[in-house]
Structure 1
Amino acid sequence: MVTTADRPGAARTEVVRLPGGGSLWVVRAEGGVRDAEHPALRAVARSGPEHDAAVLDLALVPLVTAPGVRALVHHAHDLTERGSSLLVATDDPRTRDRLTADTTLTVVPTVAAAAAACGAPDTTPPAPGLDPASDSGNSPSRGRTDGADPELARLRQEVRHLRARARTHPLVSRAQGILEERYRLPDERAAFALLEASSQRFNVRLRTLASAVVTVPRPRSPDHEWFPRRERQAPPALAFQPGLRAATANTSEVLSAVLRRSMEITDATMGNVQLVDPVTGDLRLEKHHGLDDDFVDFFDRVSHEGTACALAAEHLARVTVTDVATDAAFTESARKAILATGSRGCHSTPLLAPRGRVEGMVSTHHERPVHALSAAQARALDEIGDQAGRWLEWYQRTVVLDALEHLHFTGSTWG
């Protein structure tokens, strides 16, 4: 029988941004820590000079052997020589006693306690009209768009619609031009009809299909399959959302489930999900809840810096911002947009494909500054990120390619 202590070791990393500046490199360990080969210890060693300290969370570790303790001490000394430090988080009395006996290891009960010990006190007052202690949770921005002026609301909705069309139209037009030239179609309307037919048949969004036409290498010729000898894989399970059938779900259903479950785990009232745009590499807003129109407009597309989600994509790890008002991760314009919607803290978790490629991001937003997540919350969010990331990769390699193959066949036989 294989016990929890005998399971292979695993490690998950995240970054906790501290109020007033600085950050912690957090490594969540699983499985028994028996020696220096545990993945969590190798992950601890990756803590860089940009982090104030590394924190090894042992909340899900059932056993730390004497060789494991010696390995921890070695890493603690190594980090000290590099100008950093190692804190070990555990609330298990036996593990704590083993770690503190005849060692210089610093032990704290939780990652949140480590963040509290390392973080500077928050002395920054909230922005005017954004009192985090308020029970209303309303911001001036929310009040502006709640329908007090129906004409203004209508105009704002029209502007958002026009912006969305302006962003999508060039991509679709580019795909139309490619198809028109490739299949010698009579005009752009025929190219659009080709796109639309495959989009509807395979329930793939037109924008997604147009992106694939633009980014996927072209077929060898009209007389050959676009993807010969392609191996079809079974869809990965979406265990975080019972009842959601992975084989027949569409992207909208999966992302809605990702957002809903992530908000439940973190007890959040606001949140959003983004996908990586295959053409630009930006994070593109796909789903949101509880966020006002100004937030949605501002963060419709996020580039590679100036936000927590961009930082999470860079680290390939979740980023927790304990207090938006004081965190240097944001540009000033991004900070104002987040505070105006009523958010003071956030957790941004990447949706990761198996080889570490970011497929998207789910972020939960909170009306007050947040603490570091518990080990159970962190594991649950990581599982959502892993399952959704694998499914999104499968969807692109299976359903979207099926739609392209159908489009190719139809285009090759046009007329």
Structure 2
Amino acid sequence: MKASPLDGESLGQVTFLRVRGTLDASNADDFSHALASHLAHAEVTETHAVLDMTDMYLSSAAAVRALDQVTRGLAAAGRPLPTVQPRPHVREALRLAGLPGIRPHATVESALRGLRDAPDTGPVTAPADLPHPPAVGDLHAEVRGLRAKLRSSALIGVAQGILVERYGLPGAAVAFDLLSGASQHCNVPVRVLASAVVTTPPPGRAPAWSEHPPVPTAPFLRRADVSPVERRRVLDAAALEALAVTGARSVDLLCVQEAQDTLVLEARCNLGEAFADEFAEVSHVRAPCTVAHSTLRRVVVESVATDPVFAGPRMREVLLAEGTRSLYCAPLIGEAGTSVGVVSAHWPAAGRWLSGPQERALETLARDVATWHEWYRRSIVADALDHLHRRARPCTG
């Protein structure tokens, strides 16, 4: 990080902070302290600060978090840090993170104009004591969250384009507002709704969205006392039920994301961050879950260490590191005869561990989860599509 004075004309002196290189978990703490020191110096000398990220790369959520830690106080004071960062991946990362202490600009001139136009809210003090670095587990979870957002952004972008064309909307921002509004109104994740927009024919070429199947009454829903409309709780309850009926050490549950034909990790029990990172999204890779999904048949892996079902070493290594030595993967096959996901039970020893009754119990649970998934898609997601349609039509005028 290099600080240079800059003549801001009517602004007086401006401290121009140029950052070059890659910011990741290994140097995020040093970056935090350096930026805080420069901001404190700018405060003492009564100069403005502008952060130039033109030659900077963000390669982890720890980098974004470090930036947030130092600038959050500026947001509270109403004077976010002007930031010049034209690189597309940096703009996207900061947009997704929604940092309140950062005000992005495409050029230096734009940043200086923003300073001139900003009201004088008094002195801003940089934080005296930086927070302790986040725990490793928190960083892993944050990295996964950022990666998930980046993966979803492409799908959401496609859905925005479809909505703009379908309804003649003035732009992608209006389309996103409609998507997020319908998501909140019907309590459907934005990525799930976006996938439905991409895969569902427009009104007039598809069956009525209001034709809902009967509400599922699966035993695992009753035992967990979970409403079928609560997607997250239903999937968590299904994973816990799988753990109970199989006696396995750990369980994971993946659901299909139709628009991209991928399996997305939705729930896990007793599996760590490395597993969650590796299996967050599984697509076009030969693995037990993808084989079960594509063949509509259960897959039994008696030895994770030696079974040739894995296309590459990475998934095998992650499973072994988690203590998984054998697997049982059951596809979630609904009434339509297609797979909507996979539930997998893990054991810490090689062999074939499920008894006949346990096999039947897991496959019954798999059918129940698939039935719920189809109901949710044809009812709750359909309601969100209908809400989106009704809200979008007035925009065409």
Report TM bin, short chain: 0.5 to 0.7
Question: Do the aligned partners of 2:325 and 2:349 also contact (CA within 8 Å) in 1?
Answer: yes
Deviation sequence 1:366-385 (CA, Å, 0-9, x none) = 22224242111011111101
CA distance in 2, matches of 1:151, 1:260: 27
**Residue 216 of structure 2: SS of its match in structure 1?**
coil
CA distance in 1, matches of 2:356, 2:208: 45
Question: Do the aligned partners of 2:188 and 2:381 also contact (CA within 8 Å) in 1?
Answer: yes
**Residue 388 of structure 2: SS of its match in structure 1?**
helix
Query: What residue in structure 1 maps to residue 264 of structure 2?
Result: 284
Identity %: 38
Task: Pick closer, same or farther for the CA change 1:237–1:370 going to 2, 3 Å.
Answer: farther
User: Does structure 1 residue 320 correspond to structure 2 residue 308?
Assistant: no
CA distance in 1, matches of 2:274, 2:219: 34
Paired residue for 1:339, among 308, 320, 335?
320
User: Does structure 1 residue 368 correspond to structure 2 residue 349?
Assistant: yes
Question: Do the aligned partners of 1:168 and 1:207 also contact (CA within 8 Å) in 2?
Answer: yes
Question: Do the aligned partners of 2:227 and 2:234 also contact (CA within 8 Å) in 1?
Answer: no
Detail structure 1 runs of 4+ shifted over 6 Å in the superposition. none
Question: Do the aligned partners of 2:221 and 2:228 also contact (CA within 8 Å) in 1?
Answer: no
User: Does structure 1 residue 205 correspond to structure 2 residue 189?
Assistant: yes
Deviation at 1:243, TM superposition (A): 4.4
User: Does structure 1 residue 255 correspond to structure 2 residue 235?
Assistant: yes
CA distance in 2, matches of 1:231, 1:315: 30
Task: Pick closer, same or farther for the CA change 1:408–1:205 going to 2, 3 Å.
Answer: same
Gapped runs of 5+ residues in structure 1? Answer: 1-148
Deviation sequence 1:90-134 (CA, Å, 0-9, x none) = xxxxxxxxxxxxxxxxxxxxxxxxxxxxxxxxxxxxxxxxxxxxx
Query: What residue in structure 1 maps to residue 392 of structure 2?
Result: 411
Question: Do the aligned partners of 1:237 and 1:246 also contact (CA within 8 Å) in 2?
Answer: no
User: Does structure 1 residue 218 correspond to structure 2 residue 202?
Assistant: yes
User: Does structure 1 residue 167 correspond to structure 2 residue 151?
Assistant: yes
CA distance in 2, matches of 1:197, 1:283: 26
Q: Normalising to structure 1: TM-score of the pair?
A: 0.59
Q: Normalising to structure 2: TM-score of the pair?
A: 0.61
Question: Do the aligned partners of 1:354 and 1:390 also contact (CA within 8 Å) in 2?
Answer: yes
CA distance in 2, matches of 1:293, 1:370: 25
Question: Do the aligned partners of 1:256 and 1:287 also contact (CA within 8 Å) in 2?
Answer: yes
CA distance in 2, matches of 1:203, 1:188: 22
Task: Pick closer, same or farther for the CA change 1:380–1:337 going to 2, 3 Å.
Answer: same
CA distance in 2, matches of 1:245, 1:151: 34
Deviation at 1:398, TM superposition (A): 1.6
Aligned pairs for 1:11-410 (under 5 A) are 150=134, 152-153=136-137, 155-220=139-204, 227-228=207-208, 231-243=211-223, 248-330=228-310, 331-410=312-391
**Residue 285 of structure 1: SS of its match in structure 2?**
strand
Deviation at 1:350, TM superposition (A): 1.1
**Residue 342 of structure 1: SS of its match in structure 2?**
coil
**Residue 234 of structure 2: SS of its match in structure 1?**
helix
CA distance in 2, matches of 1:392, 1:167: 22
Task: Pick closer, same or farther for the CA change 1:307–1:228 going to 2, 3 Å.
Answer: closer
> What is the Cα-based RMSD across aligned positions, in Å?
2.3
Deviation at 1:227, TM superposition (A): 4.4
CA distance in 2, matches of 1:202, 1:348: 32
Deviation sequence 1:135-161 (CA, Å, 0-9, x none) = xxxxxxxxxxxxxx9565554444323
Query: What residue in structure 2 maps to residue 39 of structure 1?
Result: none
Aligned residues: 263
Deviation at 1:195, TM superposition (A): 0.9
Task: Pick closer, same or farther for the CA change 1:156–1:305 going to 2, 3 Å.
Answer: closer
Gapped runs of 5+ residues in structure 2? Answer: 1-132
Query: What residue in structure 1 maps to residue 52 of structure 2?
Result: none
Question: Do the aligned partners of 2:229 and 2:376 also contact (CA within 8 Å) in 1?
Answer: no
Deviation at 1:319, TM superposition (A): 1.5
Task: Pick closer, same or farther for the CA change 1:333–1:411 going to 2, 3 Å.
Answer: same
